[in-house]
Chain A
Amino acid sequence: MADNTHSKPVHHREFEKKQHREEMKQQVLTFALMILFTLIAFGMVIMEVNSYFIIPTLIILAVVQVAFQLYYFMHMKNKGHDMVALMMYGGAAVALLTIITFTSIIWW
């Protein structure tokens, strides 16, 4: 493997380096954002903000964190993850539909 990377042309190596730097930047940025989100969430609870505000905000923060986790840390934004995405959204859709069915027509 090591031989392979060295045999690549110089411009190619340059390009990869640049890509890695970009990737690193994104990872650090999302990581910082996620810590910030967590601080905000805890802060709001400690300061006893009105619950009508706090519940939707916490849910939004949680969804964004899950998206960061999946897309940046687990590389779903990169190529070759179509099937994974299809499965996850398919499963989520089925689960959501089941919950909606329960809450709207079975136990309404």
Chain B
Amino acid sequence: MNHTSTLPGAAVSSQQGRLAVQDGQSGDTGDTAREACLLRGLRDLFAARDANDLRAASLALDACRVRFGCARATRGAAPCTTPGADTADTPGHWQEAEYAFNRLFVGPMAVPAPPYASAWLETEPRLMGEAAMDMRALYHALGRAVPGEGTAPDDHLSFELDAALALLALRGAGNRIASSSDPAPATAPSTPAADVEDAWRWLVAEHMGAWVPRFVQRALAEPGVPPAIARALAMLLCWQEDAATACASLHHIETAESAGGTDAFRPSVAPGVAPRPGSADKSEACGTSETIGAPGASSPHSTTA
């Protein structure tokens, strides 16, 4: 990474230093790889056009589980089932899954769980609302855009997961930069690493936190959700909750430090975001019985196969 020395991030703030430490405690590259595996699988699943796409994405999500073990975010609603148990290749299985997927998310009938942020965040549900413009601005900041901008709503779940994947990669790069650098003065200006963290926190905690839980629970409330889709929905919710919780506890440490205050319990979503109905009800879809370690700081052993 030959640009390392030119980054203003060479002067890393104390908060960023703590981020590196915090991240190190939670498993570092193993966690990132697990999360990337998960995000890629979920992204592809919600972008599926047909049974083959659904099958491939479901098998990929299964593979994440095989590779990284049955951590909370890779497990979903049911207790750790044997990989492959709900991705069986029985005749018609994926065809039925495709029909159900379209009834839930695609159409042509009005769908119960439109996979677009605007449908949940606008005061009156619609597409191409402010949430879509927020996401467009984020993609533009990443030098990206949705294919056919202005035609495909920017806040489709699969695009948002793609952006999360991008930010995840940038976080990884930032952390490596941070850990190789000297501690910086606390008054350091905004840095790329700090911007990435802000963007990540906004996306996973504030933005997705405001709609993904409601989206997932609404979809899961439908009758006859095929197991592969139900599991993906639960994995999505668990990932979003864990990521948001990680942001919140990190933010809490920052806040407590700067205010000189003491530890206090923090809500599981980022400050400034009103808790949404559904997001508080995390046990239903995610399960708590086998939760390993503190929320947002999963123990290293949870990431080993």
Whether both chains belong to one complex is answered with: no
Which residues of A are in contact with B by a Cβ distance under 8 Å? Answer: none
Which residues of B are in contact with A by a Cβ distance under 8 Å? Answer: none
